[in-house]
Amino acid sequence: MDTIAILDFGGQYCHLILRRILDFGVHAEVLPSNTRKEDLKKISGLKGIILSGSAASVYDNDSPKCDKEILNIGVPVLGICYGHQLIAYLENGEVKSGNAGEYGVTELRTIGQSGLLQGLSKTEKIWMNHKDIVTKLPQDYSVVAVTDKSPIAVFENQKKKQYGVQFHPEVTHTENGNRILENFIFNVCNAKKELMISNIIENISDEIRKKIGNRKAIIALSGGVDSSTTAILVSRIIGEKLTAVYVDTGLMRHKETEFMEQEFSKHNLNLKIINAADRFFSALKNITEPEEKRKIIGKLFIDIFDEIAQQEKAGVLIQGTIYSDRIESGITPNSSVIKSHHNVGGLPEKMNLEVYEPLRDLYKNEVRSIAKNLGLSENIINRHVFPGPGLAIRIIGEVTPEKAEIVRKAGYIIEEELRNANLYNKVWMAFAVLLPIKSVGIQGDARSYKYPIVVRIIESKDAMTANFSKIPYEILEKISTRITNEINEVNRVVYDISNKPPATMEWE
């Protein structure tokens, strides 16, 4: 098949580039940044190369680089963000640290003609996430577009078919980013559509057969769409050899255990419900640092799974880990650790169980498509994302049962009011965060001194980027009024208007 090679320099969005190309129906592969020219030339049907972003600077001694000769293979090359800077650097241009970084939505202005930007307007909204900029072009390259802070935001060498974009076309916040990638894939590289998204289920099923074979396995079932989809996929292949384990940590959503019992009684799953709230609260006592919380929770989950595995004589632990979990945990070469997801970076180094993650290369929107194909209920498919560590990372500071109940009630109120307003399915996730401070208020004509609650409601498609949701003020007012009226420990509600980046979705 025609193939696009993506060199991974450690950027958060590298795998998102892959997903976009696969969604176009074109085969693509992510390869290490140091892949040699000779190895790239061996790829059958190689039509183009994309250089991903990175948290590094091209002038850092230890920054990831690629062989300059890959620019002379004879196929088109597109550099994105760090890749854009790297092409300029390798071709003897200049890259410098800008006076101010560009983060978030920016306006791109086209000043030249390029097939890469075919069909786009003279001005476009794009997504920036960088500090360094290209300040001088290599010979035979020309400027195609600029922004206020990037005098060379898009460049090209038309003869060599080499292009650089300082922004991220692969993220949804670049409004016509897919058009740019399509222009490169189809018009510049002349690649053909030869993939069908339906092949994903077949490929994963084949891998499950090979990976697990006749062994027994347990799956960590949280009730979210990722683990639920994984459970149904695996159970279809190994049947009764799979035991699904749901652990009630005391840090779950409102009436979550009842939901799990009702929902999964519809499926032929051997479901075990473990009540472990006391163990989790005891382990988290006096712990305030977010990464420490995550690692403690990850280890305790594994301890419990080990216990169940011994009872069931299982040797494999299956998890519903998806790609955004892995990249934020710094699991790929050259990537930064943003936060250790309990099922990835939070796992202990030594484990008795073999960990297997069938959905590890997928994004949330793809998992939801698979879930629909498998016949999971809308209650599962359209559930808002809930973090593996649960409410522990929505309580800033020490975690206690009392604080967990506060943030659980507040989260339920937020979701209920969004459902009442027919907004629940229009946002990615909505939740409450409990702060470790108190403020003065007036309730019942008397002074109060209580906790504030942060309301966080965000919109996203792939979890790699997100915007805060512009919820109507009257809905926010209903949420605020209910929280302060119904939760005795709270007297103030604030709304988080931060996007990702610079913020993350969760506070911890």
Residues noted as catalytic = 81, 168, 170
Coil/strand/helix, residue 459: strand
The region, left, alpha or beta by phi > 0 then psi within -120 to 50, assigned to residue 10 is left
Beta strand residue intervals within 328-445, DSSP E: 354-356, 429-434, 439-443
CA pair distance 117, 283, nearest whole angstrom = 54
Is residue 4 within 8 Å of residue 63, measured between CB atoms? no
End-to-end Cα, the chain, rounded Å: 43
**240 close to 267: Cβ distance less than 8 angstroms:** no
Distance (Å, whole) CA 394 – CA 371: 27
166: its two tokens: 């300082």
CB 138 within 8 A of CB 132: no
> How far is the CA of 503 from the CAs of 338, 397, 499, in angstroms?
11, 18, 6
d(CA 422, CA 431): 16
Residue 156 CA to residue 169 CA, distance in Å, equals: 16
Phi then psi dihedrals of residue 277, to 5 deg: -55, -45
Compute the Cα dihedral for 183, 464, 298, 246 and give only its sign. Answer: negative
| Per-residue DSSP letter, 128 | E
Which of 256, 355, 229 lies closest to 298 in space, CA to CA?
Answer: 355
